[in-house]
Chain A
Amino acid sequence: MSLSATTAPPSPSAPPPTPPRRRSRAITLNRLDLKLSPYLYIAPFFVVFGIFGFYPMLRTAWMSLHDWDLIGDHSFIGFDNYTRLFTDEYFWNATINTFGIFILSTIPQLLLALFLATMLNRTFLRARTLFRMAIFMPNVVSVAAVAIVFGMLFQRDFGLINWMLSLFGVDAVDWDAQKWSSWTAIASMVNWRWTGYNTLILLAGMQAIPKDLYEAAAIDGANQWKQFWRITLPMLTPTFVFVVTLSTIGGLQLFTEPLVFGNGNIIGGDQREFQTLAMYMYELGIENLSSAGYGAAVAWAMFVMIALVSLVNFLLVRRSVK
């Protein structure tokens, strides 16, 4: 695109071929076009985000400062909802559950994804495309379906897992009755669904690393392990930050898996063994109509936590690989 139309100022000495008013209007429009149209092109995203993302966030913040009944009245109470959070036993219980499941799902998942990506990156592997597609398949399956199937696997009376355990003489485990067992079951669903996804992203990152680095290292006598440790990992840092951040956001918002695992009961286990923050927010904000304001405060607390954890992850990952 040429910029001459705007950069060349109208010469005052030469008589303009068109009447001056029309000419100057054309220039103004032209300037506007240059200045404005890029914004218009990106506008659709921001308009949609504004309506469905930003406005609800502000509205939630506004709600969190009120004693708000979803289908009734509301009154302004300042930061009372937030101070209440600090002494709310079930809020902290949900926080611990969320982080417990998050750690159980994210760490093994990323290690496994790293391993699989390295394997898939090997040149000697046959039918690589097939494996790469296959590993992504679980991610395409609907969450609810996954949760229902895993719920059946982890059933107490007729579940496959308990049956297999019984072959080794282990007593049937009531999977949703303890924290460790319910966390394990839920984390296994998350791992199954997301390992392939992360593998593919890490694989893409690995393939962007220039091959000559490895060749040079090989000539210098570095073995595979050293190459992985000294070249692959450091070069993979930006990808890793991305993957860790996405996992953090997804992991801390975990909702469907624990909900379906607990037969749709929002308190997540008889003693809230696996109620996550998102579930607690839903319990207060949507299920229990009269505490919508408090639910909104939980939502904002979640937002802050996710932002903080993402930041910490970012700093940790960046430092450790440096």
Chain B
Amino acid sequence: MSVTTRRNRFAVAALAAVTAIGGLAACGKDDEPKEAGGKPSKLVVDTFGEFGYDEIVKQYEKDTGIKVELRKTAQLNEYRPKVVRALATGKGAADVTALEEGILNEFKTNPANWADLTPLIADHSKEYLPWKWELGKAADGRLIGLPTDVGSLGVCYRKDLFAAAGLPTERDQVAALWPDWNAFIETGKKYRAATNKGLIDSATTAASAVMVQQGGDLFYDKEDNVIADKSAAVKTAWDTAVAMSDAKISAKSATWSPEWSAGFKQGTFAATFCPSWMLGIVADNSGPENKGKWDLAPVPGGAGNWGGSWLAVPAQSKYPKEAAKLAEYLTNAKSQVEAFKLKGPLPTNLEALKNPEFTGYTNEYFSGAPTGKIFGESVEKIQPLHLGPKHQAIKENAFEPALRSYENGQSPKDKAWEQFLKDAKTQGAF
């Protein structure tokens, strides 16, 4: 083989190596459209589940000439790692990022990751549910999130199963069955006696409902110390759920488990606790064949809120001002009503809550229940909550497992409570 061809080969190999490395380096370069000082040509919005923004952003594009890219992630547990990755690496976050209640509280402990919206937009503090607006602020006072929706709370129940157990089926009569939680447990006992089945899916969903009704401090105090052992709301929720397990009124099907999903069709339970975002999940799990069998009644013991989100602007956004304007647009009264009509997230804007298009809304799947009216009325009575940084982790990895351990007979009452306190301490550390 001649020297020249070999030299060529060396050159080719070297070239290949250089291109490979260069190619890798090129990946790191950002290809965002840049218009120094001017307005952006495109803004990116990250949401999970369904926020119902598809039509609203088209109007925004027409009004402003700025293109909007909606990036949707179906499940919250897939969405969170994406946001974490973008924050941890300082790259890839959307200009407007939707933050769910649990995520927001956790991210608030590092407020520097988010732009302070106060100087960027007009003052809207009086236009929203006051507690919801306050939750969008970090401890250092910076406004991180603009309110989108709340979960509120209701009881979804199966009319056909209620009828079979000799219980009333009309939503007013059903509401009269359970003015408080004791009456609810009595109803569950009647249901058990008539059918030998559980009335509700699990004691843990009931515990979640009771806890958010109490309002005030849950797992954390105002200074964000873990107070699981002293919190009145937590104790009430625990005791109520324990009373429910003792009365055997639940089907012991943990939320999201296969038993739970199948239970909607199989009718292993006749009722569950429904924030408004749960209605779609109940409908999906029950299938079209059960349309018109479900209905919605008020929850015993008063209003409460379970879930809901905010829109935030990551500090890494290149156009914080325009992004804040977009977030402002997406959360205004008109957009919130539009979004509700499209996908069902409950408004938090006071004006939107009074809009007849919202209050007059009925849900076909749920036997034409006036969901706008039922949820709308309860929204105004919601008690402000203080959820600490790791609220979600304590609830899902300490409180609920301990409660289920008791309900499934794996550990006695005292031991389960101690397990919860111990885990709450580690899960709640931040």
Contacts and interface: CB of A to CB of B under 8 A. Distances in A.
Given A44-B20, A155-B262, A263-B257, A271 B110 contact: no
Interface stretch (A24-32, A117-125, A128-136, A235-243): A24-32
Given A288-B427, A290-B429, A157 B21 contact: no
B6 interface: yes
Given A69-B110, A158-B262, A267 B7 contact: no
List the 8 closest A-B pairs by CB distance, nearest first. Answer: A270-B401, A72-B110, A71-B87, A33-B10, A40-B13, A270-B404, A290-B430, A270-B405
Contacts of A33: 6-7, 9-10
Given A267-B397, A271-B405, A40 B14 contact: yes
A316 interface: no
Contact of B254 (A1, A43, A263, A287): A263
A25 B16 CA distance: 22
B396 to A, nearest CB: 7
B333 to A, nearest CB: 33
B109 A287 contact: no
B181 to A, nearest CB: 23
Interface in B223-282: 253-254, 256-259, 262-263, 266, 268
B88 A155 contact: no
A47 B20 contact: yes
Contact of B84 (A70, A271, A283): A70
A69 B110 CA distance: 9
B8 to A, nearest CB: 10
Q: Is the interface of B mostly helix, strand, loop or mixed?
A: helix
Contact of B408 (A30, A44, A174): A174
Given A5-B6, A33-B6, A290-B109, 12 more contacts: A1-B1, A72-B109, A151-B258, A152-B258, A157-B259, A263-B257, A263-B258, A264-B77, A264-B256, A270-B401, A270-B402, A271-B410
Contact of B263 (A151, A157, A290): A157
Interface in B401-429: 401-402, 404-405, 408, 410-411, 419, 427, 429
Interface string B68-91: 000000000100010010011000
B7 A37 contact: no
A287 B1 CA distance: 59
Interface in A87-105: none
Interface in B144-158: none
Contacts of B107: 71
Interface string B15-31: 01100110010000000
A41 interface: yes
A11 interface: no
B407 to A, nearest CB: 9
A277 interface: no
Nearest to A154: B258
Contact of B258 (A32, A155, A286, A287): A155
B113 interface: yes
Nearest to B422: A89
Contacts of A69: 110
A33 B12 CA distance: 11
B106 interface: yes
Contact of A286 (B81, B268, B390): B81
B224 to A, nearest CB: 12
B393 interface: yes
B106 A30 contact: no
* Chain B interface size, under 10 / 10 to 19 / 20 to 34 / 35 or more: 35 or more
B20 A2 contact: no
A271 B13 contact: no
8 contacts: A37-B10, A41-B13, A71-B84, A72-B110, A157-B259, A267-B401, A270-B404, A289-B84
Interface in B32-50: none
Given A26-B3, A71-B110, A290-B430, A271 B411 contact: yes
A177 B401 CA distance: 11
Contacts of A43: 17
B410 A177 contact: yes
Contacts of B259: 155-158
Counting chain A CB atoms within 10 Å of each CB, which of B257, B401, B408 scores highest? B257
A37 B9 contact: yes
A227 interface: no
Contacts of A44: 20
Contacts of B21: 47
A137 B292 CA distance: 44
A185 interface: no
Counting chain B CB atoms within 10 Å of each CB, which of A30, A157, A288 scores highest? A157
Nearest to B427: A288
A134 to B, nearest CB: 28
Interface string A267-278: 101110000000
Nearest to A40: B13
Nearest to B21: A47
A177 B397 CA distance: 15
A229 to B, nearest CB: 45
A258 B430 CA distance: 27
Contacts of A2: 1
A44 B6 CA distance: 20
B263 to A, nearest CB: 7
Contacts of B268: 157
Nearest to B255: A263
A265 B258 CA distance: 13
Contacts of A291: 429
B401 A271 contact: yes
A94 to B, nearest CB: 14
A186 interface: no
A41 B21 CA distance: 14
Nearest to B262: A158
A29 B7 contact: yes
A297 to B, nearest CB: 15
A30 B88 CA distance: 47
Contacts of A264: 77, 256
Contacts of B405: 270-271
A177 B405 CA distance: 8
B230 to A, nearest CB: 23
Given A270-B408, A271-B405, A288 B266 contact: no
A51 interface: yes
Contacts of B393: 287-288
Counting chain B CB atoms within 10 Å of each CB, which of A30, A41, A71 scores highest? A71
Contacts of A286: 81, 84
Nearest to A288: B393
A266 interface: yes
A40 B17 contact: yes
Contact of B106 (A29, A37, A266, A289): A289
Interface string A23-59: 0001001101100110011011001000100000000
Interface in A154-175: 155-158, 174
